[in-house]
């Protein structure tokens, strides 16, 4: 089984959806929605602000965020279903799939996952239905927006299954301006150093941090890879993407 998180930056990437639909093994799909949320908020006259790659979500923007994410999840589940992989679009508010608590009041309605209803996921998968999860969580005082990278990490960690982040870059890059500078393996200390020196920035920050959280929680491996056709089968060859590990073992003699 594989937990796959599809970046909002890959919204509408039909070849990727086909790959997922035709993937041999079991899948749990988590999706983001940043660009579409940004466009919808702008169209309605709201301002958008990020802190360390996390979307600040004032309470008055929450309804728009939830609408856009839920619609995206339904679209993705419908498309996968049409292509032969019967899928169910779920919000974290369904059957308390995702529970959260507010992360930091300066971020508004942004949550941190505290519990995952894994039995709902098992129930669907036992009937050969693929869960497609929108990153909205149930909480006291109303729903919370949770970064999709963190949702995927919580799900993969709880289930002890591998996690793949599919995004719009070839992996973590040593120089974000140079697509040839992919780093094949990164450990926890290197991740923090590169956040500090600024080579890892923006939306890549929650991704690498969530990758480390997933490993701590019990995911056997985590990859950050490009969401291009043929990615999924090529991931394990090491020729694609960035593998995140807790610590590297020295090969010196």
Ligand X SMILES: Nc1ncnc2c1ncn2[C@@H]1O[C@H](COP(=O)(O)OP(=O)(O)O)[C@@H](O)[C@H]1O
Residue from 16, 169, 191, 214 in contact with ligand X (CB under 6 A): 169
CA angle 28, 152, 8 (to 5 degrees): 90
Residue from 59, 160, 184, 202 in contact with ligand X (CB under 6 A): 202
251 assigned to a ligand binding site: no
Query: Choosing among ligand X, Mg ion, none, which partner's interface includes residue 241 (Cβ < 5 to 8 Å by kind)?
Result: none
- The least CB distance from residue 135 to ligand X, in Å, is 11
**Per CB under 6 A, 173 contacts ligand X:** yes
117 assigned to a ligand binding site: no
Binding segment for ligand X (CB under 6 A), chosen from 17-25, 62-70, 77-85, 171-179, is 171-179
Residue 139 in contact with residue 108, Cβ under 8 Å?
no
Query: Choosing among Mg ion, ligand X, none, which partner's interface includes residue 200 (Cβ < 5 to 8 Å by kind)?
Result: ligand X
238 assigned to a ligand binding site: no
Residue from 27, 32, 66, 138 in contact with ligand X (CB under 6 A): 32
Cβ neighbour number for residue 95 with a 10 Å cutoff? 13
Query: Choosing among Mg ion, ligand X, none, which partner's interface includes residue 164 (Cβ < 5 to 8 Å by kind)?
Result: none
* Residues with Cβ within 8 Å of residue 178, at least 6 apart in sequence: none
Of 138 and 167, which CB lies nearer to ligand X in the complex structure?
167
**Per CB under 6 A, 176 contacts ligand X:** yes
55 assigned to a ligand binding site: yes
* Residues with Cβ within 8 Å of residue 112, at least 6 apart in sequence: 100, 101, 102, 103, 146, 150
User: What residues between 198 and 217 interact with Mg ion by CB under 5 A?
Assistant: 203
Residue 193 in contact with residue 203, Cβ under 8 Å?
no
- 218: three-class secondary structure by DSSP: coil
**Per CB under 6 A, 48 contacts ligand X:** no
Rg (CA), the chain: 17
Give the whole-angstrom CA distance, residue 61 versus residue 44.
10
* Residues with Cβ within 8 Å of residue 117, at least 6 apart in sequence: 95, 96, 97, 98, 99
**Per CB under 6 A, 87 contacts ligand X:** no
Give the whole-angstrom CA distance, residue 194 versus residue 196.
5
- The least CB distance from residue 15 to ligand X, in Å, is 16
What tokens appear for 33 in the block? Answer: 């929605």
**Per CB under 6 A, 135 contacts ligand X:** no
Contact residues toward Mg ion (CB under 5 A) are 203
Give the residue numbers of the binding site for substrate: 33-34, 55, 145
């Amino acid at each position: 089984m594989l937990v796959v998180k599809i970046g909002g930056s890959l919204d509408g990437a039909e070849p990727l959806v086909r790959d997922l639909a035709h993937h041999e093994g079991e899948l749990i799909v988590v999706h983001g929605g940043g660009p579409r949320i940004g466009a919808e908020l702008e169209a309605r006259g709201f301002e958008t602000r990020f802190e360390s790659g996390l979307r600040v979500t004032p309470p008055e923007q929450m309804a728009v965020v939830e609408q856009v994410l839920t619609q995206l999840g339904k679209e993705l589940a419908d498309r996968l279903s049409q292509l032969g992989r019967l899928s169910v679009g779920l919000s974290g508010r369904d059957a308390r799939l995702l529970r959260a608590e507010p992360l930091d009041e300066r971020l508004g309605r942004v949550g941190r996952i505290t519990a995952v209803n894994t039995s709902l996921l098992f129930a669907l998968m036992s009937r050969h239905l693929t869960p497609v999860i929108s990153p909205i969580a149930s909480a006291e005082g109303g729903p919370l927006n949770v970064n999709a990278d963190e949702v995927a990490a919580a799900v993969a960690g709880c289930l002890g299954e591998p996690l793949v982040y599919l995004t719009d870059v070839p992996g973590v890059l040593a120089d974000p301006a140079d697509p040839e500078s992919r780093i094949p393996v990164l450990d926890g200390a290197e991740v923090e150093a590169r956040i500090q020196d600024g080579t890892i920035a923006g939306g890549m920050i929650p991704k690498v941090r969530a990758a480390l959280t997933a490993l701590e929680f019990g995911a056997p491996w985590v990859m950050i890879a490009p969401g291009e056709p043929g990615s999924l089968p090529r991931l394990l060859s090491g020729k694609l993407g960035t593998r995140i590990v807790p610590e590297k073992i020295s090969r010196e003699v």
